[in-house]
Every structure is written in C-alpha cells, then in structure tokens.
Structure 1
Amino acid sequence: MVINVLLLLFIGFAGGLAVGAGFVAFLTVLGVIPRLTQLTKTMKMIHYYELAVVAGAVLGGWLSFRDSILDLPVLLTIFIGLLSGVFNGMLAAALTEVLNVLPILAKRVGVQEKIIYLLMAIVLGKIGGSLFQWIYFVDK
C-alpha cells in the first residue's frame, strides 16, 4: 500500500516536472514574452508580463486540483470550448511552424515524400483523442 502511494507520488511529481520544464522551455526558447513586449512596445513592463504568466500557471494548476463547477449557459460553454480549441490548435501549429518539427521528423524517419500522411496522422490523432476524452471522461 505504501509502495503504491510512493509510486503515485513519484509519477505525479515527475509528470509535473516534465510539464513545467516544457512550459519554461517553450517560453525561453521561443522568447514569447520579449517578443510580445516588442510587438506591443511595452518593454519596460516585461516584469508584469512575466508575473502574469507565472500567476496564470500557478492559478491554473491550483484550479485543476479543485472540483469546481461553473453553472454557465450551454451556448456560453460551447463558445468558450470553441475558443479554447482554436487557441490550443493555433498554439500547437505555431510551435510546430517555428521549430520546423515536421520537416526534421520526416527527414529523420525517411518519409519526406509522404509528409501528408504524417500530417493527417497527427490531425486525426488529435481529433480522436479529443473526442475520446469528451465522450468517455466528461460527465453529462
């Protein structure tokens, strides 16, 4: 029993470290915050941007552990879900575009001429995973 709890603690901690490291790498490597301050011409407010990102990550992590229920109208929930999906999709596309992941992956695997199949596998995998999550895990 104690070994199971320790194993779960280790797996949870390792998962948190992996996600946190990926988030920091995303912000650092791509230079999201400095680029944002350049575009908005607010370089002197960079500390507020950083504080907002850290506060959002901490608040989001804290809220994910709570069993909160928001009693929102169905149309508003659909709209928020649509915007969340668009944001996540565009973020993934931008990250892929910036890092040129797909051409490198296709070259390493040796499927340069069949990159459309690689793209379709990613798209269908994302759609299938999202549908599985919503159909199987979301309570009605």
Structure 2
Amino acid sequence: MTTIEVIITIFIAVSGGLAVGSGFVAFLTVLGIIPRLAQISKTTDKAVLYEAAIIIGTMAGIYGGLRDPVVGISPLFLIPMGLAGGLFVGMIAGALAEVLNVIPILAKRLNIDGKIITLLMAVVFGKIFGSLFQWLYFVKR
C-alpha cells in the first residue's frame, strides 16, 4: 500500500467515524431516547443506568468490530441476548420513524429551507455509496 492510499484510507475511516458518531449523538439527543425510555418505563430514577448501558454497549460494539473476539457462550445464554437485541432493534426502529421530523429542523437551522430534497439525496447517496464501498471492499478481502 502506498502512502497516498494509507492517507486516503485514514481520511475515509475518520470521516466515517465522525459521521456515524455525530449521527448517533444527534439521534440520542434530538429524539430524547433516554428520557423517553425512562418516562415510558416509569424508571426516571434509573436514567443514569440507561446512559451507562448505552456507553458500555457502544464501547463493546467498537471492541467487537475491531478485534472480532470469539467468546464461548452457552446457547441458553444466547436466547436472552437475542431477545435483548430484538428489543433494541425494535426501539431503534420506532425512534427512527421520528427522525423524519429532524430533517426540516436541520434545514431551517442551516438556512437551506428550499433544498430539503438536496439534503435528503445527500443522505441517501452517502448511505448507498458507503454501503457499496464497505460491501465491495470486504468481499474482495
């Protein structure tokens, strides 16, 4: 790998990390996932534990993504883990329905009210090209 390829790879990796991290933080703060979760479950006194769980889960996901650990877990323990994962995906899917409200707010704050279609297309094409790049890059390896 040449120096320019390494620099481009580092730039793409850092840009992707910043985009995903910014989106995740915006998702949590704009939608107020943690306060809503605590309010719905009537456990507002445990909101700090929700925050800690999200941080620990994020760090574990980063570690698992970078290191690809192999953990010998009993199949009986995998059932509750799968249920917890399903609950998480369900909650995220429900909250993503509200993300559509974020785009007009973002457009107003950036003073691009008339260019919401351009903003949506940038998000769509960014997702498409990012997915294609990841799929093609990792399939060739």
TM bucket normalised to smaller: 0.5 to 0.7
| Aligned pairs (5 A) from 1:56-71 | 56-70=57-71
Give ranges in structure 2 of 5+ residues lacking alignment: 105-115, 118-130
Shift of 1:96: 4.3
Q: Which residue of 1 aligns with 2:92?
A: 91
| Aligned pairs (5 A) from 1:93-132 | 94-100=94-100
Shift of 1:21: 0.7
Shift of 1:43: 1.6
Are 2:33 and 2:95, in contact at CA under 8 Å, matched by a contact in 1?
A: no
| Cα deviation 1:44-74 (Å, max 9, x = unaligned) | 2212211111111111111111132356799
Structure 1 length-normalised TM: 0.56
State the number of aligned residues: 107
Are 2:34 and 2:51, in contact at CA under 8 Å, matched by a contact in 1?
A: yes
Q: Which residue of 1 aligns with 2:110?
A: none
Q: Which residue of 2 aligns with 1:13?
A: 14
Shift of 1:97: 2.5
Structure 2 length-normalised TM: 0.56
Tell me, in whole angstroms, the C-alpha distance in 1 between the residues paired with 2:62 and 2:87: 21
1:85–1:33 Cα change, 3 Å = closer
Shift of 1:32: 0.7
RMSD of aligned C-alpha atoms? 3.7
Shift of 1:84: 5.5
Query: Which of 1 and 2 has higher RCO (CA within 8 Å, sep 6+)?
Result: 2
Q: Which residue of 1 aligns with 2:50?
A: 49
Give ranges in structure 1 of 5+ residues lacking alignment: 110-128
Q: State the percentage of identical aligned residues.
A: 39
Q: Which residue of 2 aligns with 1:2?
A: 3
Matched, 1:22 2:23: yes
Shift of 1:39: 1.7
Tell me, in whole angstroms, the C-alpha distance in 1 between the residues paired with 2:37 and 2:99: 18
| Cα deviation 1:14-45 (Å, max 9, x = unaligned) | 10110111111111111110011112222222
Tell me, in whole angstroms, the C-alpha distance in 1 between the residues paired with 2:17 and 2:61: 13
Tell me, in whole angstroms, the C-alpha distance in 2 between the residues paired with 1:82 and 1:49: 17
